[in-house]
Amino acid sequence: MIRTGCPAHNCGGRCLLKVFVRDGVIVRIETDDRPGDTVADPQLRACVRGRAYRKRQYHPDRLMHPLKRVGKRGEGKFERISWDEALDRIASEFERVKKAYGNSAFYVPYGTGSYNQINGRQTAQRLMNLYGGSLGFYNSYSWAAISAATPTVYGTAVTGNQRQDWLNAKYILMWSWNPAEMRDGTNSEYFVQKAREKGARVVCIDPRMTLSAVALADEWIPIRPGTDAAMMSAMAYVMVDEKLTDADFVRTHCVGFDETQMPAGAEGAESYKDYLFGTRDGVAKTPEWAESICGVPRATIARIAREYATTKPGVLYQGYGMQRRAYGEQAVRAGCVLAAITGNVGVPGGWASGIALQAPDGGPFWLVFPVGENPVKAIIPSFLWTEAVLRGKDMGEADGVRGVPKLATDIKCIWAVACNALINQHGNVNRTARILADEKKVEFLLVQDNFLTPTAKFADIVLPVCTQFETWGLEDGWKYGDEVILMPKIVEPPGETKSDYRICSEIAARLGLEKTYTEERTERDWVAWSLDRYRQSRFPGVPSLDELENSNAGIYSVPVTKPAVAFADFRRDPAKHPLPTPSGKIEIFSKRLHDMGRPAEIPAVPKYIQEWESPFGPEAAKYPLSAIGHHYLSRVHSTLEGVDWLEEAFPQRLFINPVDAGPRKIKNGDRVKIWNDRGAVVVKCRLTPRIMPGVVALPQGAWWTPDAKGVDRRGSVNVLSSERWTPLAFGNAQHTIMVQVEKAEAA
């Protein structure tokens, strides 16, 4: 039995596994059972995905050999080739692209298939940087809007207390947050449960009655997708109107609340109170106003406002689904402002909201493998890579380009490592497929993966990668946590599979960079090097690699006995410990956003803005249902697709309320067609009252599988989603979808 970290996909957790091996084969997987399980240092128990991983490890569809495309891109027609032929072709294409277009034509896209140091895109980025660089990116598909919006209020992303402090809360609002399914840090659901056992009231606000709502909450409040900022604004109205705010804290620690607090240069601008009471637009943001927008009864809105404002300290935890929408920045900022005006910032049991990285140091690193400096200074928003393929030379600051006034070239070569975001996880799959099918645009596409994913089917060369059980690795927590987990090599790689690091080393050799790239280190050597980085920073007491391996503990953790509270010093003395905002205070009104001069899309105070696809827009006549693509226990995004144990327990279905199914003559288990102008999906449905009427949910991550007519038959929600981006963060808005649903014809 070997203890190891659960393979480091982007699941929201980092857990400890017990892997049982017989004759070089994994025969059973269990999870953490260390004695002394405490709130300060809890066990890191894996979910069903980690426990079922053996079925992925030995899946018959795993890639075993290098492949060369012999058909059209996307057809999935390949032939087996040798490693030498594959590596020679790659080196030749790299040299050709570099000579013809320069290094900014290369792109190593966002991909979250591995964070174990040795497998993952970081290994390719290191080589690219040594080779002269590549077009870079910033933000992510997960956190773009929330990462950009939070600092506009607090000046930092480190706005979260250590989670043990949740046990000091008396009220917890789980807003668009579902830790029981997507984890959001191993044990987040455990800490909520413990807080509830101590008497905290827990309310879940979500379009779906999620597993978190069922298991953790005292109350579920369904809300129409994309309208969270409307409900938050109405809650703020109630608090201000009924004098439930922490007026002293607002006066001493905030700017922009009312006309007396406006920053220099914006004295006559609209304050937050002006917005709430309709001073400028004539519309007071009352619960009555919000009810018609968000679908939450006015009495419920007012009650939740009073509860959160008076049952203190309280946590308003914002999940990420509500910020992957058309104006996702607004709900984030509105939640931060609710925390501020109630005085729940900088106190034990409170929560400043926003992205909430862990105090005091920002929490886990995720990756410490050294990629070096990128000689190419141009970077783009991660979600806009298709734009850089189509019109890169025309992209500049207005398109989110940083580092240069304008891109020098379009993307011509993509090296996708541990990445299914080119096709499956990007918005508007059919559009992306058309872009990648054109070999005059992206001239060379290299993919490294464990399986022939929808993205890999468009590759010119596909390289087979071993799993994290078949190489060395190291991981720390996912957003939260105070532990380092060792991932020793447990079994040998099958077939001709290799680690991403070894593949990159062999490409480096073809480019004359092998010694510079490897520094003559093996995979295990780099894990030892990575442990040293943790020893020099967050974990000075972490054992050596030999000690950790020989102990078979699998983990080094630091108990949290006195949880850190974000902004405690600022709360105590804002003059001595100012925030890193322009004013040094919490910016309810952002002068920086005001000066951008785009108030309709980027207002200086958080506002509800009707989405570009909405039940209230003209598109609703044709497409009346809001669709969302939530996380699901059968997959980690698109990873673990095809694992029969998980699919039996959590089959891919369209979830639809009987209120919407009835007029369409749809019965439970029927095959239904979901479509809009971007494409169509056919999949079985599940009728359930656990979703708000007017909303349907299709779990994200199912592999795009089009039939001869282009209709997806697997349930890929990104056939329906859009490639449009949010105005401030240039982030993905893939949850803003309007669709129609009907019973599918027999096929």
What CA–CA distance (Å, rounded) separates 531 from 533? 5
pLDDT at residue number 18: 98
Task: Report phi then psi at 307, rounded to 5.
Answer: -60, -50
What is the rounded distance in angstroms from the CA atom of residue 304 to the CA atom of residue 301?
5
Domains of the chain by residue range: 2-57, 67-141+374-557, 145-354+565-595, 618-743
pLDDT on residue 648: 97
Asked whether the CA dihedral 91, 97, 98, 104 is positive or negative, the reply is negative
**Euclidean distance between CA atoms 417 and 422, whole angstroms:** 11
Q: DSSP assignment, residue 608?
A: -
- Section 580-605 average pLDDT: 98
Q: What is the mean pLDDT of residues 381-401?
A: 98
Assign a CATH topology to domain 67-141+374-557.
Rossmann fold (3.40.50)
pLDDT band at 462 (very low <50, low <70, confident <90, very high): very high
Residues 6+ apart with CB under 8 A from 445: 73, 413, 414, 416, 422, 436, 458, 459, 460
CATH of domain 2-57: 2.20.25
Q: Taking a C-beta distance cutoff of 8 angstroms, is the pair 482, 476 a contact? A: no
pLDDT of residue 693: 98
Alpha-carbon span 340 to 249, nearest angstrom: 8
Nearest to 185 by CA among 326, 36, 423, 12: 12
Per-residue pLDDT tens digits for 481-499: 999 999 999 999 999 999 9
Tokens 């066990």, residue? Answer: 43
pLDDT, average across residues 396-417: 98
Distance between CA 26 and CA 743 in Å, rounded? 43
The model's pLDDT over 20-75, given as tens digits with 9 standing for 90+, comes to 999 999 999 999 999 999 999 999 999 999 999 999 999 999 999 999 999 999 99
Confidence of residue 746 (pLDDT cuts 50, 70, 90): low
Tens of pLDDT, residue by residue over 294-307, are 999 999 999 999 99
Mean pLDDT of 552-569: 97
End-to-end CA distance of the chain: 48
Task: Say if CB 421 and CB 111 are below 8 A apart.
Answer: yes
How many residues does this entry show for the chain? 747
Average pLDDT over residues 528-557: 97
Mean pLDDT of the 257-264 span:
97
**Mean of pLDDT values over 612-627:** 98
Q: Is the pLDDT of residue 123 over 80?
A: yes
Q: What is the mean pLDDT of residues 609-630?
A: 98
Confidence of residue 8 (pLDDT cuts 50, 70, 90): confident
Looking at the structure, give the CATH architecture of the domain made up of residues 618-743.
Answer: Beta Barrel (2.40)
pLDDT at 563 over 90: yes
pLDDT mean over 137-154: 97
Distance CA 569, CA 626 (A): 43
**Beta-strand runs (E) in 230-278:** 254-255
| Interval 709-725: pLDDT, tens | 999 999 999 999 999 99
Grade residue 16 by pLDDT with cuts at 50, 70 and 90: very high
The alpha helices in 611-687, defined as continuous H runs, are: 644-649, 658-661
Mean pLDDT of 201-210: 98
For the domain made up of 145-354+565-595, the CATH class stated in words is alpha beta
Indicate if the pLDDT at residue 15 is higher than 90: yes
Interhelix angle 228-241/298-310, nearest 10 degrees: 60
For all residues of the chain together, what is the average pLDDT?
97
Spatial distance between the Cα atoms of 742 and 671, rounded to a whole number of angstroms: 9
* Stretch 724-746: mean pLDDT: 96
Q: What pLDDT, in 10s, does the model give residues 622-662?
A: 999 999 999 999 999 999 999 999 999 999 999 999 999 99
**pLDDT tens, residue by residue, 342-359:** 999 999 999 999 999 999
Residue 747 clears pLDDT 60, i.e. is over it: no
Q: Do domains 67-141+374-557 and 145-354+565-595 have the same CATH topology?
A: no
